[in-house]
Amino acid sequence: MNLKKIIRLLIGIIFISSYITCFAANNNYNLNSLSGFFRLSYDNNIKMPNNIQSMGLLGINYFADITPLIYGGIGGYGSVVGTQGGLFTVGVGGGLHHELISHWWGDAGLFVGGGGGRASLVGGGLMLRPHVGIAYAFPWARFGLHYSYISFPSGEIHSQSWGLDVDLPMEFYYLTPDENHIGCSLFNPNDIHLSSGKFLNFQRNDFAILLQQYHQRSGTKNTDGETQDGTISLVGAELDHYFRDNTFWWIKASGAYAGIPNGYMDVLGGLGYHQSLGYSFALVPQLGMGAGGGGMTDTGGGFLINPLLGIEWAIAPRFSLRASTGYLWSPKGEMKVIPVTGELLYHLDIATEGNKSTTLSSYHYEIQGFRLQLFNQTYFHPQRSFSTSTTPIELIGFQIDQLFSPIFFLSYQAAGAYTGFHAGGYATGMIGPGIQSPEFFKQRMQVFSEILLGAGGGGGLALSGGSLIEPVAGIRYAFTPTIGLQASIGQLKALRDNLNTPIFNIGLTVRFDTLNRV
């Protein structure tokens, strides 16, 4: 069974499982809020060794305000200027920020991640990025200037940098997690208790699983100057967040699994508009930009521009199909492709608090569970394409589990190497279904199993086109209803090459529920 057939089967499982429901008996729910912000950053003029052109890094991170002073979260960085197109890192960051005087904020923090890219001199892949900065705050955003130091300790990149930040505040609303309420429907939205003077509102979000093909120009050259113009097949995921009735920002990550040497991935984001055409159809123009490269594709410094036009068809209250095409090109590289994308969108209208009352009685409401994971992953005996060495590789990663019922969930995972023999540049993106047991041992433990599918590349591993499968089984322990520890073992196998290694994962988990309007 090839990757496309497996993805189609996975989509069918998601569609069926989303309609398995129950009815909540508890009539006492508190809608909690957590302040946070998205940070878009740019690190300029990062000096490279050996007279290589300086690099510019684009960063995208989400930070939650743990306290008014301390923040922490996850994110990543990608090259957009220079010659290092395809350099990506993912990891965890945090810091301190405080309003020094009216509107002016001071900030200091640290990012720790793993990854790298082609010829990027990153050693094992570990990246450290301490920074200090100052920003001016408006009600809707903070704009700042920072000083940072970019270091790959086991590699040759060590450089100071000055750069820019944009912080976009985002209030997140959630319910206290309860495994027994996942997938349950509410008869009365008035069962949700809100802050004084606030009303129950809902904000639209769409999450999509996608398959893509990039059709390259005939005669396209790769980074070695050789012709590499085959069609690139990719798998990925997209999030659309509506901040107006029809206007949304979007972010999409994709990785190649066939068509070129392994290693190509891109992360793109921008703005989109949803224009209803009637009869369950809509026109969806999008404009985005971001970073991409790897797999010997020539994207220059990595900066990509991507206008798109799509047609969306609502096939059910919770699901839509979207087909889109457009143009994707690197202004400083050879890459100029026509992307063709097919997506299955899952609608998540998540409860928020607002200042105005809205009509609620005509909708259906349900509770959905989520689990975030920050973990370390060990490849014990990874086979390499350039060496007989099978010494271990360590990766840092994060995963989102979307729980459709107390038993069934879907996982979305990204990871990057931070140590290991020539591991710098290795990264993976995975997606797949999982099942978990009821809670036991004083409602604190669960066992689970999942099968992840996706793409990986870099680090000289024996991956061929990049397609991967990863069955795992494990156990988790909940210290509180929200915070837990999880460990699992599994086997990672390349579908078209020799990589076949046992793996071990261990990390922290964060559980929460959301109230959704259907």
Domain ranges of the chain: 36-169, 199-354, 366-517
Domain 366-517: CATH class, spelled out: mainly beta
Which pLDDT value is given to residue 460? 86
* Cα separation, 490 vs 469, whole angstroms: 10
Tens-digit pLDDT profile for residues 171-180 = 999 999 988 8
* Cα separation, 52 vs 80, whole angstroms: 15
* Cα separation, 468 vs 258, whole angstroms: 11
Question: Which residues partner with 436 through β-bridges?
Answer: 448
Cα separations in angstroms, 383 against 120, 456, 501? 22, 14, 8
Q: Would the CA dihedral through 160, 290, 170, 405 be positive or negative?
A: negative
Strand segments, DSSP code E, in 11-50 are 22-23, 29-30, 32-34, 36-46
CATH topology of domain 36-169: Porin (2.40.160)
Q: How does strand 29-30 pair with strand 192-193?
A: parallel
CATH topology of domain 199-354: Porin (2.40.160)
Cα separations in angstroms, 280 against 15, 237, 244, 246, 277? 18, 23, 20, 15, 7
Dihedral (Cα; 42, 43, 48, 51), 10-degree rounding: 70
Q: Residue 29: which residues within 8 A CB-CB, separation 6 or more?
A: 175, 176, 191, 192, 193, 515
In degrees rounded to 5, what are phi and psi of residue 21?
-135, 170
Q: What is the largest CA-CA distance in the chain?
A: 67
* Cα separation, 415 vs 91, whole angstroms: 8
* Cα separation, 243 vs 127, whole angstroms: 33
Q: 371: helix, coil or strand?
A: strand
* Cα separation, 67 vs 34, whole angstroms: 10
Q: How does strand 126-137 pair with strand 142-151?
A: antiparallel
* Cα separation, 175 vs 192, whole angstroms: 9
In the chain, the N- to C-terminal Cα span, in Å, equals 34
Which pLDDT value is given to residue 186? 72
Q: 370: helix, coil or strand?
A: strand
Which pLDDT value is given to residue 458? 84
Quick check: 434 and 451 in contact, CB under 8 A? yes
* Cα separation, 129 vs 109, whole angstroms: 8
Quick check: 453 and 482 in contact, CB under 8 A? no
Which pLDDT value is given to residue 195? 84
Which pLDDT value is given to residue 3? 58
With a cut of 50, list the residues of the chain below it in pLDDT.
Answer: none
* Cα separation, 310 vs 323, whole angstroms: 5
Which pLDDT value is given to residue 185? 79
* Cα separation, 331 vs 37, whole angstroms: 30
Q: Residue 450: which residues within 8 A CB-CB, separation 6 or more?
A: 409, 411, 432, 433, 434, 435, 471, 472
Q: Do domains 36-169 and 199-354 have the same CATH topology?
A: yes
Provide the token pair at 188: 């009365």
* Cα separation, 234 vs 214, whole angstroms: 8
Tens-digit pLDDT profile for residues 271-297 = 999 999 999 999 999 999 999 999 899
Quick check: 209 and 7 in contact, CB under 8 A? yes
Quick check: 350 and 197 in contact, CB under 8 A? no
Helix H, strand E, coil C: the string for 318-359 is: CEEEEEEEECEECCCCCCEEEEEEEEEEEEEEEEEEECCCCC
Of 209, 185, 186, give the one whose Cα is nearest residue 319. 209
Strand segments, DSSP code E, in 189-242 are 192-193, 199-216, 232-242
